[in-house]
Each structure stands twice: as structure tokens, then as C-alpha cells.
């Protein structure tokens, strides 16, 4: 990270944002012109090389995506479902192969067959209705089942908006310290994977001096198989916004930034509409309810980069820099966006805050199991008889989620990749050993993460999935540290060669994933070895032919 570049990018605040300007310039053709990038660089006092380096990193800015009309989802769920070869063929027949690109992931994991056309996502039977898709008459909002087991915090029907925001008025009448104590008492931990207590983050930022501070909602955590963030932003967006407002009041931040994946266009528009409602009803702005507290929002669409789900890469991205992971310390709560104190949390974490403040930290802490308090959203993919989003209390047996909520598998499944590409690869034999909480997953050497479940059918080769994970990491790596940048590429080459008959050296392969695990700067390179180790442990017989003795 360059502190100077952060300061230069922050000169114009968020009103005129370098990263957002690049996206606007690319809207017409799919990539900004060299002339436009030079003008931006001059306007922000940046080097042209900095702006060019940023633009060529993102999927939706890269020159090679110029003129693309349709994009095929290449996420893990669509991959294991085996639907995408036919999708690509149908799109190529309709538009020509030179107008077809790829995206990861569109969050249509519950029915697969997903693709993106002219700014909107489609899935299911849409590929068979391309005439209606092109005419704009095919519905863009699909339906999926939403259910729960136990207490409902995030999936209950929306409260009337007027009474819902009475909580905001009450918060502003009390002290920030009172709200902070409730959050600390609740034990609410980050739902994006790391499980870090939000109360400690807010307290750290609150205690860091600074006239300007930020709350950032990380809605770019595009784990293939997870669509819970999309559900919240499209169906429960006011929970997220109020959570950010309360967090801002606690730490003394006057601006909330929502960085939302470009792959979720409906989420972006719905969030913008909700913020406009807040402005029109004076629930945000200057001197809210005569409290002396100011607060506003900025929505920034992402431009296609999985690494931006890592909080420091996300901050670099907002600043218009390459989304490279920052070395910590300093942590974002001390030196974050534009070098100002910043709290970054994912969508689900922030959406829990209103319940904690309204019902009390003790009520939230009473739910769940051990240090895993509250509830968790689980995403079930298209291999289930009843795929969808389910809210369960922490500690709920995984077997209950699969067999009762999801109503079992449609076909034979041998493994589930739970928690995104960096989560654990769980064989079906381990279902009864796990419950939805951080502790049992860690104890069994898995990772709960986003609690997304991508199924691998019985006939899907594990070696193909390992190849996919290496390839995914190589494509999405920010490139800053060599264990991730080079390790993922070498891993992909080794596995690809093994599939072609060149067996891998067992010691070399284990050395490679160990180097990635202990040497990578963030969880992308450092987390990839987990599912690979799981595969080597639980599917040894299937993988043995690909290794030297």
C-alpha cells in the first residue's frame, strides 16, 4: 500500500471516486480508453501507470473483455452441476463466440445454468428463452426457498419501515458507549469467515483519534455457492443499512460505504433505492433527529475481482489502486480507507446489529452454541431437493440442515465444499460430526466461512475440482505475495500435468501447499490448502494414481 496514493485518492473524498469513475468510463465499450485513463490520472494527481494497472486488473475493465455482451457463470456450483457447457454453446450460437466472456459467481447457485446479459443475471430455464431475454421480457428476479430453524433474526418478515426506524431514534438518544456494550455482550462475530468479534473492531476504531472515519460494508465476498449477501441486500436491506448507521454512531463515523459486487445488479439498485428513501425521510443526513450526528451512504459497485472480498484489498480498490492485500499492522481500524480509521464487516454481520441493540446483547448471546452466538445463514445449492437460504441457530446439526431443511440430495453426492473456495471439502461421511458453528468445523479441520454448500456429485472427479481451485486462485490472486501468485499457478500446472499422465511428486506437492499456507499474505493463498488437504485425506484412494509412490 502507498500511503501517498491513499491520500491523493482521498483528496476529493467519496463524492468523486477514482475507482467509480473507471467503471463509468468502461460502461460503453467494456474498457476505458487510454486517453480517458490519462485524464483521470491527471485529475487525481496519480501516475498513468497506477491507473492503467488498476484498470487492467478487473474482469469488467480489462481490454480483452471489450465488446462482450454475455457472460457465462464459472462459479463452483455451476461447474459441479455440469450445466455451463450447454449454456456457453447456446450463447455462442446466439451472439457469436467473440461476444461471450466469463463471470464468477452470479449467485444463482440454487438453480445453476447461470449467465449475465446486458447488465442482468439469468438462470434456470432462461437459457432456453433467449428471445425473451434479448427482448427484456424475461423476469430477472428468480424465486428460491427461504426457511429457518429456531429463532429468526434475518429471515423474518420485514417490520413496517416507520416503526423499524424508531430504533434509530432511540439509539441516538443514548450514548455510543451503551450500544457498544450491548454488541460486546452479544458476542457477535464476523460472518464472512474469520469470525472476529465486531465489538472489538468498533471499540478499536472508536478509540483511534480522527475527524474522519468510515464504516465499510463488504458486499464483495463472492464465494461461489454463497448467495446470502444477495438475499439480505435484496430482501432485508434495511437491516444492513441500520446496522451500518448504528456502527457509525458507535465509532464516530459519518459515512457508510457499501462495496457491492457488480455481479449482483439487483442488489446494487435495491440498496440505492433504500438509501434514497432514508434521505427523503431525513433518517440520514445532517443533524439527524436534532442529535448533532451526521451520517450518509455511498454505494460503489465492484468491477469483478474475488480478492476484493479481503478487507484491505477492498479498501485499496475503493481508492482506485490495484486491489492488493495490505500488510498488517496497521489494521484498518487505525489506518483504513484514505488512511482514516475504518471498520469493515460483511453484509450478514452488519444485518445482525439492529436485533442486538433492540433485544439486548444477552438475548443474542443466549442463542447459539459456546462462542458461536446468534444465528447463521446457510446457502444450499441446486443439488438439494429444496435449495435456498436457511437461517439456523449456531450449533444446529449439519444433518438437520441437509436432511430436513434442504430435504436431502437430489442425486448421489460424495462431498460438499462448505464455506467458499477456501472452506473445507467435507465428505458425506462427516455430516453427523458437524454442526453450524465455528468450533466443530475448526475441530474437524474444516471452515464454516459463509456457510455456503456446493455439492460434488458421485461421478465428479476430485482431481478436476482441485484443478479448478488452483486455477481459480491463480486467476484471482492480487499478485502481491509470491506463495499465492506463483504457488497457485504451479499447483494448477502440476495437477493439469497429472491429468495428462505426468504423476506428481508427493513431497513436492505437499511442500508447495505448505508454502502457500504459511507464507501467503492473506487467506486466498493461505486458505486454498485446506480443501486440498481435505481431499488428500478423505479421497486418498481416488487421488493416489496421480502421485508418485
The per-residue pLDDT of the chain, averaged, comes to 94
Instruction: Quick: pLDDT tens for 148-180.
Output: 999 999 999 778 898 999 999 999 999 999 999
Residue 276 pLDDT > 70: yes
Peptide bond into 330 cis (omega under 30): yes
| Cell digits of residue 289 | 433527529
442 pairs with which residues across the strands?
Answer: none
Q: Quick one: how far is CA 154 from the chain centroid? A: 18
Q: What is the pLDDT of residue 16?
A: 86
**48-55 vs 34-43: helix crossing angle, rounded to 10:** 120
Task: Read off the pLDDT band of 2 (50, 70, 90).
Answer: low
Q: What is the pLDDT of residue 158?
A: 77
Q: What is the pLDDT of residue 285?
A: 97
Peptide bond into 105 cis (omega under 30): yes
Tell me the CA distances in angstroms from 339 to 34, 416, 480, 482, 495, one per residue in order: 29, 40, 20, 26, 41
Taking alpha carbons only, the member of 442, 364, 339 closest to residue 150 is 364
Residue 43 pLDDT > 60: yes
Q: What is the pLDDT of residue 76?
A: 96
Residue 316 pLDDT > 60: yes
Pick the range with the lowest mean pLDDT from 30-34, 253-257, 414-418, 529-533: 30-34
Instruction: Quick: pLDDT tens for 467-481.
Output: 999 999 999 999 999
Residue 336 pLDDT > 90: yes
Instruction: Quick: pLDDT tens for 441-454.
Output: 999 999 998 999 99
In this prediction, what percent of the chain has a pLDDT beyond 70? Answer: 99
For the segment 524-546, the average pLDDT, to the nearest whole number, is: 97
Number of CB atoms found within 10 A of residue 461's CB = 14
Strand order of the β-sheet with 375-380 is 145-149, 388-393, 375-380, 452-457, 413-418, 424-427
Residue 405 pLDDT > 80: yes
Taking alpha carbons only, the member of 88, 97, 90, 100 closest to residue 130 is 90
For the segment 523-536, the average pLDDT, to the nearest whole number, is: 96
Pick the range with the lowest mean pLDDT from 22-26, 179-183, 265-269, 499-503: 22-26
The helix or strand, by DSSP H or E, that contains position 50, with its residue range, turns out to be helix 48-55
Q: What is the pLDDT of residue 10?
A: 80
Taking alpha carbons only, the member of 146, 108, 107 closest to residue 386 is 146
Task: Read off the pLDDT band of 65 (50, 70, 90).
Answer: confident
For the segment 142-150, the average pLDDT, to the nearest whole number, is: 95
For the segment 296-316, the average pLDDT, to the nearest whole number, is: 94
Q: What is the pLDDT of residue 1?
A: 45
- The sign of the dihedral angle between the CA atoms of 406, 408, 411, 417 is positive
CB 259 within 8 A of CB 218: yes
For the segment 322-337, the average pLDDT, to the nearest whole number, is: 94
Instruction: Quick: pLDDT tens for 82-119.
Output: 999 999 999 999 999 999 999 889 999 999 999 999 99
Pick the range with the lowest mean pLDDT from 187-201, 491-505, 534-548: 187-201
Residue 549 pLDDT > 80: no
Amino acid at each position: 500500500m502507498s500511503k501517498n496514493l491513499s491520500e491523493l485518492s482521498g483528496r476529493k473524498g467519496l463524492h468523486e471516486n477514482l475507482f467509480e469513475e473507471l467503471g463509468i468510463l468502461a460502461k460503453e465499450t467494456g474498457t476505458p480508453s487510454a486517453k480517458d485513463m490519462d485524464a483521470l490520472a491527471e485529475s487525481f494527481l496519480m501516475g498513468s501507470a497506477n491507473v492503467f494497472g488498476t484498470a487492467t486488473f478487473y474482469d469488467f475493465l480489462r481490454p480483452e473483455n471489450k465488446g462482450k455482451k454475455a457472460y457465462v457463470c464459472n462459479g463452483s456450483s455451476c461447474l459441479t452441476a455440469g450445466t455451463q457447457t450447454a449454456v456457453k454453446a447456446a450463447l455462442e450460437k446466439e451472439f457469436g463466440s467473440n461476444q461471450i466472456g466469463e463471470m464468477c459467481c452470479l449467485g444463482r447457485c440454487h438453480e445453476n445454468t447461470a449467465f449475465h446479459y446486458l447488465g442482468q443475471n439469468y438462470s434456470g430455464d432462461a437459457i432456453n428463452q433467449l428471445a425473451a431475454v434479448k427482448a427484456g421480457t424475461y423476469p430477472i428476479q428468480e424465486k428460491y426457498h427461504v426457511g429457518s430453524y429456531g429463532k429468526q433474526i434475518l429471515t423474518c418478515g420485514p417490520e413496517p419501515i416507520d416503526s423499524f426506524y424508531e430504533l434509530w431514534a432511540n439509539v441516538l438518544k443514548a450514548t455510543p458507549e451503551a450500544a457498544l456494550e450491548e454488541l460486546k455482550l452479544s458476542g457477535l462475530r464476523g460472518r464472512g469467515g474469520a469470525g472476529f468479534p465486531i465489538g472489538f473492531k468498533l471499540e478499536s476504531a472508536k478509540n483511534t483519534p480522527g475527524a474522519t472515519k468510515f464504516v465499510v460494508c463488504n458486499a464483495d465476498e463472492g464465494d461461489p455457492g454463497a448467495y446470502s449477501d444477495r438475499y439480505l441486500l435484496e430482501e432485508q436491506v434495511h437491516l444492513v443499512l441500520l446496522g451500518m448507521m448504528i456502527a457509525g454512531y458507535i465509532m464516530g463515523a459519518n459515512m457508510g460505504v457499501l462495496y457491492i459486487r457488480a455481479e449482483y445488479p439487483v442488489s446494487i439498485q435495491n440498496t440505492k433505492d433504500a438509501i434514497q428513501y432514508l434521505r427523503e425521510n431525513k433518517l440520514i443526513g445532517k443533524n439527524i433527529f436534532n442529535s448533532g450526528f451526521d451520517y450518509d451512504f455511498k454505494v460503489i459497485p465492484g468491477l469483478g475481482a474475488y480478492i476484493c472480498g479481503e478487507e484491505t484489498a477492498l479498501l485499496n480498490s475503493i481508492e482506485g489502486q490495484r486491489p492488493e492485500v495490505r500488510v498488517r499492522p496497521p489494521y484498518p481500524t487505525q489506518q483504513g480507507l484514505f488512511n482514516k480509521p475504518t471498520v469493515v464487516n460483511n453484509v450478514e454481520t452488519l444485518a445482525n446489529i439492529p436485533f442486538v441493540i433492540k433485544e439486548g446483547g444477552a438475548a443474542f448471546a443466549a442463542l447459539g452454541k459456546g462462542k458461536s452466538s446468534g444465528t447463521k445463514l446457510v446457502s444450499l445449492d441446486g443439488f438439494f431437493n429444496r435449495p435456498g437460504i436457511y437461517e439456523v441457530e449456531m450449533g444446529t446439526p449439519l444433518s438437520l440442515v441437509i436432511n430436513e431443511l434442504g430435504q436431502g440430495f437430489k442425486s448421489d453426492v460424495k462431498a460438499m465444499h462448505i464455506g467458499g473456495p477456501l472452506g473445507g471439502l467435507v465428505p458425506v461421511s462427516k455430516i453427523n460430526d458437524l454442526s453450524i458453528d465455528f468450533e466443530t468445523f475448526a475441530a474437524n479441520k474444516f471452515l464454516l466461512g459463509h456457510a455456503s454448500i456446493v455439492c460434488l456429485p458421485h461421478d465428479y472427479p476430485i482431481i478436476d475440482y482441485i484443478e479448478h481451485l488452483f486455477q481459480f486462485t491463480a486467476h484471482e490472486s492480487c499478485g502481491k505475495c509470491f506463495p499465492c501468485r506463483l504457488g497457485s499457478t504451479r499447483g494448477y500446472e502440476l495437477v493439469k500435468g497429472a491429468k495428462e499422465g505426468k504423476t506428481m511428486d508427493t513431497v513436492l506437492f505437499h511442500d508447495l501447499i505448505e508454502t502457500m499456507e504459511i507464507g501467503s499474505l492473506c487467506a486466498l493463498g493461505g486458505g486454498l490448502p485446506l480443501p486440498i488437504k481435505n481431499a488428500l485425506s478423505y479421497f486418498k484412494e481416488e487421488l493416489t494414481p496421480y502421485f508418485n509412490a
